Structures are given as structure tokens and as C-alpha cells.
Amino acid sequence: MGREFLDVFEEWASSYDEAVTGHDPQYRDVFERYDTILGEVAQLAEGSVLEFGVGTGNLTEKIIEKGQHVIGIEPSEPMRELAEKKIPNLPLFEGDFLSFPTLDEPIHSIVSTYAFHHLTKEEKQQAIANFYSLLEEGGKVIFADTVYENEQAEQQIKQEAKEKGYLDLLEDLNREYYPQLQEIRQLFTESGFHFEATQRNKFVWILVAEKQ
């Protein structure tokens, strides 16, 4: 569920690693400091890690380099093939934020970068409730994704995209479900998490939610 944007990734998979290095001017600001952002998420992950929306495996690689065990979930077959090439022994399953194989080991961290915005508000709410059940006490959700600081920031970002003629970016911002900070904070705190967020570039924030 929440897979309505999957077609984009079936097409985007082969050139995705170029996009994250700033080759596409429309997405340059979105992916600004991409490597550092993923590195920060990896540093915060502890214990057994469950990763959603693995893509080509860039975050996964960083967590494994730290010596940790990662289980990956990714709905797109072309993306899974690329991740499997990069990390041959990764336990990687077909699934999404809401529907994935039953896990038979405790999970201490749930991570994801540039993916949670594919879910509607209701789907995010359901996913967050599932994360709470899945995590051990003190376990954390650590996400990096586009979040608008407030309504004014949302309008300003969309206006700038329009003025620059970044129409693909603008369409993406209007089509997907990028939340405002207050909304995502409320979704996590209402499910029993302590929530903190820090901005890392014009678009992307690191969200850390700890199970209380």
C-alpha cells in the first residue's frame, strides 16, 4: 500500500544514482548534502535495523559499513536489482511501509530516506502505529525526507520552483504527500513517540522518533 508512485521508480532506477549527485538541476537542492544526510541517519541507527524504500542501497551500504545488520524492504523490482548488485548478501524483501513480510527478530531502529512522503496522511498514521508495535522499548524511527517547516515555507518553496521553471519538481511537490512539520510531529507524538526534527537542506529534515 502507498505504492501509487511506483511507476516513477521503475523508470528512474537506472539513473537514480546520478540524480542524487546533483545532475538534475531541478532536484539539486533536494539532494544537497545527500551523502552527509544518509551518513547522519546511518550514525543514529542502532542494533538491528529495518529499512524501508531501500532504493539503490545507498543508506543500506552506510549502515552495513558501521557493522550493523540491516533488513531491507523495497517495492520496486528494478530498484531491488540495483541494491542487490551493490550489496549481494542483503536480506531484501518485496514490500512497502504498510505491507512487508513478518519479521522473526527484534528491531531496534527503523530507517528510511527520501521515501515516507509516498504515503498519504492516513497511511503515515497507520505505518507509524505499526512502527510502534514493531520496535523494542527505546527503539527509534530515523527518517530523512522533505518536510515544510510551516505553511509559509510550503508556499515559498512552490513559488520558487514555479519562478525557476522547475515544472517537474513543482508537479512532484503538488502530487506527493510532503507534510508540514506540525503534522508529522503530531502523527509521531500521538502514537507515543518522543519526536525531534532538524533541517539539513532547503527541503530535507532528519526526523528522530523514540518509542517511549
Ligand X SMILES: C[S@@+](CC[C@H](N)C(=O)[O-])C[C@H]1O[C@@H](n2cnc3c(N)ncnc32)[C@H](O)[C@@H]1O
Closer Cβ to ligand X, 18 or 151, answer by number: 18
CA diameter of the chain? 50
In sequence order, what DSSP letters do the residues of 15-59 get, joined into one string? GHHHHTTT-SGGGTTTTTTHHHHHHHHHHH--SSEEEE--TTSHH
Q: With respect to ligand X, which residue has the nearer C-beta, 143 or 195? A: 143
Binding site annotation covers 53?
yes
Answer yes or no: are the C-beta atoms of 148 and 180 closer than 8 Å.
Answer: yes
Question: By C-beta, is 159 or 199 nearer to ligand X?
Answer: 199
DSSP-based three-state secondary structure for 164:
coil
CA-to-CA separations, 93 to 35, 65, 76, 110, in angstroms, rounded: 24, 20, 10, 15
Q: How far is the CB of 156 from ligand X (least distance, A)?
A: 23
3-state secondary structure of 193: strand
Question: Which residue minimizes CB distance to ligand X?
Answer: 55
Q: Considering beta carbons, is residue 63 or 157 the nearer one to ligand X? A: 63
Binding site for ligand X (CB under 6 A): 2-3, 5-6, 9, 20, 52-55, 58-59, 74-76, 79, 96-97, 113-115, 118
Cβ of residue 93: shortest distance to ligand X, in angstroms? Answer: 11
Binding residues for S-adenosyl-L-methionine, as ranges, are 53, 74, 96
